[in-house]
Structures are given as C-alpha cells and as structure tokens.
Amino acid sequence: MIKAERVNFIINRLEEIYPTTPIPLKHETIYQLLVAVLLSAQCTDERVNLVTPILFAKANNPYDMAQLKVAEIFDAIKSCGLAPKKSQAIKNLSGILADQYNEQVPSNYTDLEKLPGVGHKTASVVMSQGFGYPAFPIDTHIHRLAQRWGLTKIGNNVVQTEKDLKKAFPERLWNKLHLQIIFYGRQFCTARGCDGGKCDICKTCYPKRKKPLKLK
C-alpha cells in the first residue's frame, strides 16, 4: 500500500469500528474538562473519572477551586500520577481563570498554554473536545500507532507527528480520528499486544512486515 491507500483504509476501518466517539473524560463544563485533561497525564482515563467527582464535589469552578488549599486538592487526586505538581497547577490555573478571565477557559492556544500545567497536548484536547476547534492532540497511543502505520517516520517527536497527521488526514476528521485512534490503540494495537504486525490495521497496511517494528 502507498501512503494514500493506508490513510483511506485507516479512515474507513476506524469508522466501521468506532462510528461514535464519546469523550472519555467525564465533565460538565469546559473548566472541568481542562482539569480532567491535566490530570490525565501519566494517569488512565478510568482513574481520572474516579477522582474528578471527589475533586469537583469540593469545588467545580475556578473561583471555588482557587480558594481550596493545595493539600485539599491533593487529597482528592492523590491516586493520580504526579499528584503534588498537578494539585499546585490546578490551584494556580484556577486562580488565574478567576482573576483574569472571569472564570472562563480561554478558547485559544496562546492563553491556554500560558496556564500552569497546560502544555500543547492538553490545550489541543480542550480546543478539540471543549470548543470543537479542529485539532489533532498527540499522546503516546497516537504517536506509537502513527509510526506503526507509516504515517510519520520512526523516531520523530510528537511535534512532527502532529504535523504529519494533520497533513495526511482531512481537517474535518481530525477531532473524531484523534479519539478513534486512541480507542483502537487501547483495544487492538497496544504497546505489548501488537508489534506492528499483529492487529488488523498493521497487517493490512504492511502485509509483508515480518519482524517486530522497533520504535524509538
């Protein structure tokens, strides 16, 4: 398969398996989504969905969250990875949103990425899932699969992978594909479950691949 054929096959196959793409992180507001995405770094969505109800029962908006002590936030999210840093970041960004943005989450990358604990990937998820802006957030699942499927070169960083995927896929599909690829990676093309030649998409895209694909 040439790259264009792989791209078309991937789009069609993912649409067959995942015609709907519910947002994995439970939230009621964009602010809650922002906090949930921040918590998801080095933590499973399942774990985040367990701790956010506890956290949001204490405070579910920027003003109230900023009034909490860091220790109170930590107590709610302590089972998440990097909880000490995340606790401080949540308090600090909540204070900034309350003081500078009238408690509203900014709808642009520049202001989002200035918030404590918010990197480009977190901002991209919020822009995509919160505001519906076309984005292609790159996490470890997508970065790994993009290399296995020949959509980006092995060894590329996530910045280049994002550029490559945006170039490969139509913009109108970015938001849905981001979630479809994550779902597929978790179910069929896991880090240990597929070596680049075991799942349906890997085998179809590269039927002659005999050796495990080593990723850098």
Q: Which of 139, 163, 195, 200 is catalytic?
A: 139
41: left (phi over 0), alpha (psi -120 to 50) or beta: beta
Task: Kindly tell me the sign of the dihedral angle through the C-alpha atoms of 148, 151, 154, 156.
Answer: negative
Low-confidence ranges of the chain (pLDDT < 70): none
Which residue shows structure tokens 């977190």? Answer: 122
Which residues, in sequence order, are CB contacts of 10 under 8 Å at separation 6+? 149, 201, 205
* CATH architecture assigned to 30-130: Orthogonal Bundle (1.10)
Query: What is 102-159 written as a DSSP string?
Result: TTPPPSSHHHHTTSTT--HHHHHHIIIIIT--------HHHHHHHHHTTSS-TT--HH
Q: How far apart are the first and last CA of the chain?
A: 23
Q: Which residue type is seen at 101? A: Y
The token pair that represents 203 in the structure block: 């085998």
3-20+136-205 CATH, one of 3.30.2350.10, 3.40.50.11540, 1.10.1670.10, 1.10.3720.10: 1.10.1670.10
Give the whole-angstrom CA distance, residue 104 versus residue 62. 8
Distance (Å) of CA 103 to CA 30, 52, 97? 11, 19, 5
Ordered by start, the domain boundaries in the chain are 3-20+136-205, 30-130
Give the global pTM.
0.94
CA dihedral 42, 46, 49, 51 (to 10 degrees): -60
Task: Name the nearest CA neighbour of 23 among 136, 145, 180, 144.
Answer: 180
102: left (phi over 0), alpha (psi -120 to 50) or beta: left
- Catalytic residue status for 121: yes
Q: Which residue type is seen at 124? A: S
Please state the length of the chain: 216
Q: Which of 91, 121, 164, 176 is catalytic?
A: 121
pLDDT tens string 83-106? 999 999 999 999 999 999 999 999
Long-range contacts of 192-195 (CB under 8 A, 24+ apart): 194/148
Give the whole-angstrom CA distance, residue 147 versus residue 166. 14
Give the whole-angstrom CA distance, residue 162 versus residue 62. 30
Task: Kindly tell me the sign of the dihedral angle through the C-alpha atoms of 33, 35, 38, 42.
Answer: negative
